[in-house]
Chains A and B, each alone.
Chain A
Amino acid sequence: MAEMDTSSSGGGKKHQGTKSKKLSTRVDMTPMVDLGFLLITFFMLTTTMAKPKTMDLIMPKDTEDEKEQNKVKESTALTILLGKNNRVFYYEGLAQDPNASSDPEFFQATTFANKGGIRDVIIKKRDEVAQLRNAKGEPEDVVVIIKANDGATYKNFVDILDEMAINRIQRYATVDISEQDKQWIQQTVSANPGTGGAQ
């Protein structure tokens, strides 16, 4: 197929006397082209595919001033706790009342599963809160409070931030975990040991 024709048309007849055979200078370049394109494809794919992505994280300023702090309403809040072994716990509201846990339905455990996991909880709460109206008659925004326990991993943290992006939750905050929350996690885990384990 491919050729490099360097023979000149009239050149052959001069040397009719010699018996040496004229070798063709045509080289089949097809495999070389194949190889070339294979390498091109490889380099093209590796340069564009291996690019890591980044997730923006904007942290709030530490403020002592009471007026600057955002107050979260009990009715619009959803608190998510990250525990050991990829376990997720959640409750509605901020649990400022220590007796809140007397309701057995209050503190719930869930997982990062795509179906029936924390995502469904977030969506449910988001849609519930969207029905509420604030003083100006506008729909309320859900505020998600994220608290990571010591046993949580970085993956859990990124996953939960990703859930915020997936469900388009505009308002969320990471907060230090309280002793009360730790205690609740401990109770829930010991009540149904499984994959969990005490903190």
Chain B
Amino acid sequence: MPKVKMARKSTLIDMTAMCDVAFLLLTFFMLATKFKPDEPVTVVTPSSINTKLLPDSDIILLTVDAEGKVFFSMDGQPKRKKLIEDLNTQFKLGLDQQQMNNFVVGASVGTDLKDLKTYLSMKPDERKASGLEKGIPTDSANNELETWINYARTAQGGNPRLQYCIKADNETPYPKIDQIMQTFKDLKIQKLNLVTNLEAIPPGTAAAQAQDGPGSTEEH
């Protein structure tokens, strides 16, 4: 039997193609990542076993910090523009183009309507220092939150996918949440979303056993 001679092959691999793919993917993920908009307050949300994702668009988001200050935000610049224009006309806030533009491109706002003009002319970092960031009033005597939600709903123009989300801190006092829920109730909005973090289902419970089945809880 003749001896078979194996040809010695080089162990060098051309990595150029691999490098190309890596950087292509890198570019994709970098562009696809949406950075979190600047939040005026840090909110640590509680955990729940719910796995439903918070939608990116078509939401009205109310952020409530640990002291109970309410901040309003909404997605979509054209809708924000319509909202601030409506508010300006209706409540004669006297906002100029620049201030309205600050609202359109900015993140959450949380102040009285009467202070909105001063508030919007400030830069986001000045707002915190100014002490105007008192949150939107929710008490029944002066429920400006109702106004905000109402105008935002109009600006969304009957969008069927619109969802109302409440993102509150662990330490937010319950009466504040109750006031907000009451406000929604008064506006005949029954379906709310509470923003939470994911936590594991405790083993051995009914939810763990029924994890594969359809799961929905309803309030009666």
Contacts and interface: CB of A to CB of B under 8 A. Distances in A.
B130 interface: no
Given A32-B19, A170-B217, A56 B46 contact: no
User: Which of A39, A151, A173, A174 has most B Cβ within 10 Å?
Assistant: A39
Interface in A24-52: 29-30, 32-33, 36-37, 39-40, 43-44, 46-47, 50-52
Contact of B173 (A33, A150, A168, A169): A150
A53 B197 contact: yes
B162 interface: no
Nearest to B52: A54
Interface in A56-70: 56-62, 70
A80 to B, nearest CB: 13
Contacts of A23: none
A128 interface: no
A114 B151 CA distance: 43
B4 interface: no
Contacts of A152: 173-174
A53 B195 CA distance: 6
Interface stretch (A1-9, A90-98, A100-108): A1-9
B185 A52 contact: no
A56 B193 contact: yes
Contact of B14 (A3, A36, A70, A123): A3
B162 to A, nearest CB: 14
B94 interface: no
B184 to A, nearest CB: 7
B174 to A, nearest CB: 4
A164 to B, nearest CB: 6
B191 A53 contact: no
A87 interface: no
Contacts of B176: 154
Interface in B10-25: 11-16, 18-19, 22-23, 25
B204 to A, nearest CB: 10
B48 A165 contact: yes
Nearest to A159: B46
Given A32-B19, A159-B46, A53 B198 contact: yes
Interface string A139-175: 0000100001111111111110110111111111110
Given A114-B202, A165-B207, A166-B202, A58 B54 contact: no
Contact of B193 (A57, A164, A168): A57
B112 to A, nearest CB: 23
A30 B15 contact: yes
B192 A57 contact: yes
Given A56-B191, A172-B219, 4 more contacts: A58-B219, A59-B191, A153-B170, A166-B201
Interface of A: 1-4, 29-30, 32-33, 36-37, 39-40, 43-44, 46-47, 50-62, 70, 82, 114, 119, 123, 143, 148-159, 161-162, 164-174
Q: Which 10 A-B pairs have the closest CB atoms?
A: A2-B15, A36-B22, A43-B29, A154-B172, A54-B193, A155-B170, A168-B206, A152-B174, A158-B46, A162-B48
